[in-house]
Amino acid sequence: MADYIYTNVLKNINYLKSTYHTDICTDIVVRDFQILVNNFRYKAFIIYIDGMADSCLINNFILTPLMIRNKANSFDFNLEQYNDINKTEDLLNYVYNCLIPQNAINKVQCFADVFSSVNMGNCVLFIDSLDTAFDLDVKGFKQREITNPSNEIVVRGSQESFVENLRTNTTIIRRLINSENLILENLTIGKLTKTQVVVGYISGITNPKLVSEVKKRINNLNIDYLTSSGQLEQLIQDSPNNIFPQTIATERPDKTVNYLLDGRVCLIVNGNPYALILPGVFIDFLSSPEDLNLKFQFANLGKIIRLLAMLFSILLPGIYIAITNYHQDLIPTELLFTIAASRESVPFPTVVEILLMEISFELIREAGLRVPTPLGTTIGIVGALILGDAAVSASLVSPILIIVVAITGICSFSIPDFSLNFTFRLCRFIYIMLGYLSGFLGIGIGIFIQMTIMCGMESFGCPYLDPSTLNKRSISNYFVLPIWKREKISGFVHPQKKHIQGKTSMNWRHD
What is the predicted pLDDT for the residue at 428? 93
Report how far residue 215's alpha carbon sits from residue 218's, in angstroms, rounded to the nearest whole number: 5
pLDDT of residue 83: 43
pTM (predicted TM-score):
0.83
The confidence score (pLDDT) of residue 429 equals 93
The strand ranges marked E within 256-411 are 265-269, 275-278
469 — pLDDT class (breaks 50, 70, 90): very low
The pLDDT value given to residue 502 = 67
Q: Taking residues 337-345, report their average pLDDT.
A: 77
Q: Which of 140-149, 215-224, 365-374 has the lowest mean pLDDT?
A: 365-374
Q: Closest by alpha carbon to 157, among 145, 149, 165, 169?
A: 149
pLDDT at 187: 93
Q: What is the pLDDT of residue 508?
A: 72
Identify the CA nearest to 30 among candidates 38, 39, 43, 42.
Answer: 43
pLDDT band, residue 378 (cuts 50/70/90)? low
Contact 313, 415 (CB under 8 A): yes
Question: What's the pLDDT at 82?
Answer: 43
What are the domain boundaries of the chain? 9-136, 166-280, 294-459, 466-510
CA angle 260, 263, 264 (to 5 degrees): 60
Please state, rounded to an integer, the average pLDDT across all residues of the chain. Answer: 84
Q: How confident is the model over 172-194, as a mean pLDDT?
A: 91
- 18 vs 387: CA distance, rounded Å: 61
Position 211 scores a pLDDT of 94
Q: What is the pLDDT of residue 478?
A: 66
> Which of 263-277, 379-393, 402-416 is predicted with the least confidence, judged by mean pLDDT?
379-393
Residue type, 370: R
Q: Which pLDDT tens digit goes with each residue over 65-84? A: 888 765 555 545 454 454 44
Q: Distance between alpha carbon 326 and the CA centroid of its chain, in Å?
A: 45
Kindly report which listed range (81-95, 278-292, 327-341, 388-402) carries the lowest average pLDDT score. Answer: 81-95
Residues forming beta bridges with residue 35, ordered by sequence position: 42
Please report the beta strands in 236-326, taking only residues with DSSP state E, as ranges in sequence order: 248-250, 265-269, 275-278
What's the pLDDT at 385? 62
Helix (H) or strand (E) holding 8: none
pLDDT at residue 67, as a whole number = 83
Span 145-161, average pLDDT:
85
- pLDDT over 90 percentage in the chain: 37
Position 85 confidence tier, pLDDT thresholds 50, 70, 90? very low
Q: What is the dihedral of CA 283, 317, 335, 386, to 10 degrees?
A: 110
- pLDDT of the residue at 376: 59
Answer yes or no: are the C-beta atoms of 126 and 133 closer than 8 Å.
yes
Instruction: With beta carbons less than 8 A apart as the criterion, state whether 255 and 383 touch.
Output: no
CB atoms < 10 A from the CB of 32, how many? 13
pLDDT, residue 87, reads: 63
Which three-class secondary structure state does DSSP give residue 424? helix
Give kind and range of the element (H or E) at residue 485.
none
Contacts of 132 (CB under 8 A, 6+ apart): 5, 92, 107, 108, 109
Q: Is the pLDDT of residue 184 over 80?
A: yes
